[in-house]
Amino acid sequence: MVKTILQFTDPILNKPSQKVKDFKSPILKQLVSDLVDTADANRPITAGLAAPQIGALISVCVCRRVDLEKEDASPLDKKTLWEVMINPRLINKSKNNSVYWEGCLSVGVGNDSLFGPVSRPNKVVVEYNTLNGKRKTLDVSEYFSHEVQHEIDHLNGIIFLKYVTNPSNIWKRKDLDKYYEDYNEYPPLAD
C-alpha cells in the first residue's frame, strides 16, 4: 500500500530506528511491501525510502538499484529495482569522497523539494539482512553509495541537510532543474 511520506519537521525523522529481530513477523512483511509500493509510486523522483519516512521506527529501507538500470533497457520490475535492506550497517568505507546533489521525499514536495551537495565516501560495503533473515553484503560505489548512506542515515535519525554546511548550497528542485537545463551541469558550490 502506498503510504504518506512524513516531512522533515516530523520528530519521528530525528529518532533512531529499532533493529528487526523477528523476521517472520507479518508486520515486517507488510512494512517492506508498503516501502516498496511507496518508493515505486515515486519512481520518477526517488532513489530510496526508509521506514521512518512512512512513520515506522524500524531499521528497514529500500534502495533503488541504479547500478542495474540501463538507459536503453526496459524498466526493472519492482522486486529487482528496490533492494530491501533490513538492519543495514556500513562495514567498510573508502577514504575517497565524492559529492552528489541529494534530495529527499521528506524534504519538500514537488518543485519546492530541496536539494544540496553532499560529500560522502565514494565506495562502501553494506551488510544487511534480507526479508528471510539471511545476511548479505553488497559493495556499492558512486551515486549508489550515496543512496545507501542516505537511507541508513534516515534509520539513524539523520536528514541529508545536516551535511550541507552553507545554506546558499540548498536549492529548490525547480531552480536546480532550470540551472542544469541551461548549463548542463550543477551550480558551483558556495564556500
**Catalytic site positions:** 151
Separation of CA 80 from chain center: 16
Neighbouring C-beta atoms of residue 78, cutoff 10 Å? 13
From the list 36, 55, 21, the residue with the least C-alpha distance to 154 is 55
Q: In this structure, what C-alpha cell is assigned to residue 58?
A: 524500524
DSSP H stretches of helix in the chain: 26-41, 78-81, 142-155, 173-183
Residue 151 near residue 106, CB atoms below 8 Å: no
SS3 146: helix
SS3 102: strand
